[in-house]
Amino acid sequence: MKTGEGEKEKESSVKIVPIGIKVGSQNTVITTSDWTEIETTCVKERSNLITGETEYIVGNEAAEMFGDGAEYMLRGGLPGNEEEADLLRRFLGRLIEKYDLPENSYVTYAIPAVESEVGINLFKKVVSQISIGWSGKEIWNDSFLGALALPGGIEIVEKTFLVINLGSTTTEVVAARKGEVLLSAVTGAVSGDLVDRWVKNEILNETRAALNIDLATARKYKEKYANLKSWENVQESVQLFRKGKSSFKISECIIKPIEDYLERLADFVCLEFLPELAETNFSVYKQVLAKEFILVGGMVEIPGLREKLGTIMSSQLGANVTMICPENPVAAPAKGAYTLSKYRTTTTQEQEK
Ligand SMILES: Nc1ncnc2c1ncn2[C@@H]1O[C@H](COP(=O)(O)OP(=O)(O)OP(=O)(O)O)[C@@H](O)[C@H]1O
Ligand SMILES: [Mg+2]
């Protein structure tokens, strides 16, 4: 060993940077000690018109420039084949460059509870090929990690709790006890994407088939105007080719889809997940019913959704169900992942002292 190398090694071990990354079908979220960034999980592959070389535009830039034309490679939750894994590798590689994420880092990845072994193996291969996480990497269920973003932080790992994760392509419910996921269920029949499709159809009906917006626009309307707390009438007008001016009330086109979504969601939790939990583990079922349900995921960002869902589920279950959510539900799994990375790096460094 050259002189000074020991010192250098010691110094580098002190500077391990904890990072949390949640990879979802719609949003990828990165959290470090100072910041959280949200990027759309998509890539646009195209040939450069000048050089003829293949180039890749990723994330928010690709979503803004190409809308539905960009490829959302994780629609099933994880890569399903080598091509999707390759796009994921390019996507994460570009984000690492963009946000200057260091190699000497400890990275916890938050991923959905998919059963697909192929998907998980492809994901593991991708993370082994990218340049961050030299000091260590872990992969955990994202709903579970979302609970770590609550004010109590890592302490919740010792407890029994229920998380409902409202994503874009899926809804996931997880019952956990002492750091272990006891039961999880996923459905694609309740999802943010479905609401976008219903909003698009409502607008089509309202304008008597004059206006057929794309799904990216429907999602933007939902994200901007969905509000179950205060009702605001928002009118939109468009000038259509050969059809003249057409107006519709966006708020009315959004409210019904959200209400249908909440009904389906409550049915999924109360009529499918909880009965299964009662059958497989009655004591955990009793414990989670006596506590608050934890809500995470992008759809929880809708103002008033948490309270409305609490009311619907309370009436379905004949009990007083309360819901809590971390401060920033869309980023909660990444923040929880960061909390775990931070815990690991702090304990490692304490042991080294
Ligand atoms: N401010 C907002 N208001 C309303 N809806 C929102 C808001 N922010 C995000 N969403 C919706 O939340 C969904 C995305 O949630 P999230 O980021 O948790 O999904 P994901 O984890 O990427 O997807 P999946 O869990 O299906 O893999 C989308 O339907 C999006 O439109
Ligand atoms: Mg998700």
The answer for residues whose C-beta is within 8 angstroms of residue 236's C-beta and 6 or more apart is 247, 248, 249, 250
The reply to whether 199 and 128 lie within a common domain is no
- Lookup result for tokens 């499918």: 272
Same domain for 39 and 141, yes or no, is yes
Ligand 1 pocket test, candidate residues 21, 25, 27, most atoms within 8 A of CB? 27
Q: Kindly state the tokens that stand for 222.
A: 């939902």
Residues 114 and 201 in one domain: no
Map tokens 């999802």 to a residue: 191
Cα of 172 from ligand 2 centre, angstroms:
8
Report yes or no on 246 lying in a domain.
yes
Query: According to the model, what pLDDT value does residue 349 have?
Result: 65
- Say whether both 26 and 145 belong to one domain: yes
Answer whether 221's CB lies under 8 Å from 229's CB: no
Question: Mind listing the pLDDT tens digit for each residue in 252-284?
Answer: 899 999 999 999 999 999 999 999 999 999 999
pLDDT of residue 353: 62
Residue 53 Cα to ligand 2 middle (Å): 34
Decide if 93 is inside a domain: yes
Distance CA 43, CA 28 (A): 12
CATH number for the domain spanning 32: value is: 3.30.420.40
Looking at residue 49, its pLDDT comes to 86
Low-confidence ranges of the chain (pLDDT < 50): 1-12
In a domain, 300, yes or no: no
110 and 199 in one domain?
Answer: no
Measured in Å, residue 55 CA sits from the centre of ligand 1 at: 27
Closest ligand, as measured to the CA of 171: 1
Number of domains within the chain:
2
Q: Is residue 269 part of a domain?
A: no
Q: pLDDT, tens digit, for every residue of 73-126?
A: 997 679 999 999 999 999 999 999 999 999 999 999 999 987 788 999 999 999
* 341 in the same domain as 245: no
Does 138 lie in the same domain as 85?
yes
Structure confidence at residue 307 (pLDDT)? 96
Q: Which residues contact 129 (CB under 8 A, 6 or more apart)?
A: 89
**Atom 19 of ligand 1 has which residue's CA nearest to it?**
167
- Residue 220 falls inside a structural domain: yes
For tokens 């990165």, name the residue.
30
Last residue of a domain, one of 213, 241, 256: 256
d(CA 211, CA 213): 6
**Which residue's structure tokens are 């059958």?**
279
Which of 40, 42, 60, 168 to mutate for ligand 1's pocket (most ligand atoms within 8 Å of CB)? 168
Task: For residue 168, report the distance from its CA to the centre of ligand 2, in Å.
Answer: 7
What residues flank ligand 1, with Cβ below 6 Å?
Answer: 24-27, 77, 112, 167-170, 192-193, 219, 222-223, 226, 297-299, 301-302, 330
My answer on whether 126 and 22 are in the same domain is: yes
Residue 6 in any domain: the answer is: no
Residue 170 resides in a domain: no
CB proximity list for 90: less than 8 A, separation 6 or greater: 43, 56, 58
CA of 252 to the centre of ligand 1 (A): 21
Q: Is residue 344 part of a domain?
A: yes
Helices in 52-191 by DSSP H: which ranges?
A: 59-66, 82-98, 117-129, 142-147
152, two tokens: 């109590």
Domain boundary among 256, 284, 304: 256
**Residue 12 structure tokens:** 């580098």
Quick check: 20 and 28 in contact, CB under 8 A?
no
- Which ligand sits nearest to residue 258's alpha carbon? 1
Among the candidates 218, 241, 256, a domain finishes at 256
Residue 121 sits in the same domain as residue 35? yes
Whether residue 133 is found in the same domain as residue 206: no
Span from the CA of 120 to the centroid of ligand 2 (angstroms): 15
Ligand 2 midpoint to CA 27 (Å): 8
* Domain coverage including residue 74: 16-149+332-348
- Is there a contact between 61 and 55 (Cβ–Cβ < 8 Å)? no
Strand runs labelled E in 225-282: 235-240, 244-249
- DSSP lists the bridge partners of residue 295 as 164
* Ligand 1 pocket, mutate which of 186, 223, 309 (most atoms under 8 A from CB): 223
Provide the b/e sequence for 25-39 (b: ≥16 CB within 10 Å). Answer: bbbbbbbbeeeebbb
Q: What CA–CA distance (Å, rounded) separates 126 from 13?
A: 24
Q: How many other C-beta atoms are found inside a 10 Å radius of the C-beta of residue 2?
A: 6
Same domain (yes/no): 37, 137: yes
Q: How many CA within 13 A on the CB side of residue 95?
A: 28
Which residue has its alpha carbon closest to ligand 1 atom 31?
A: 219
Distance in angstroms (rounded) separating the CA atoms of residues 23 and 44? 18
Token digits of residue 274: 């909880």
Question: Does residue 201 share a domain with residue 134?
Answer: no
| DSSP state for residue 340 in the 8-state scheme | H
Pairing of strands 136-141, 105-111: parallel
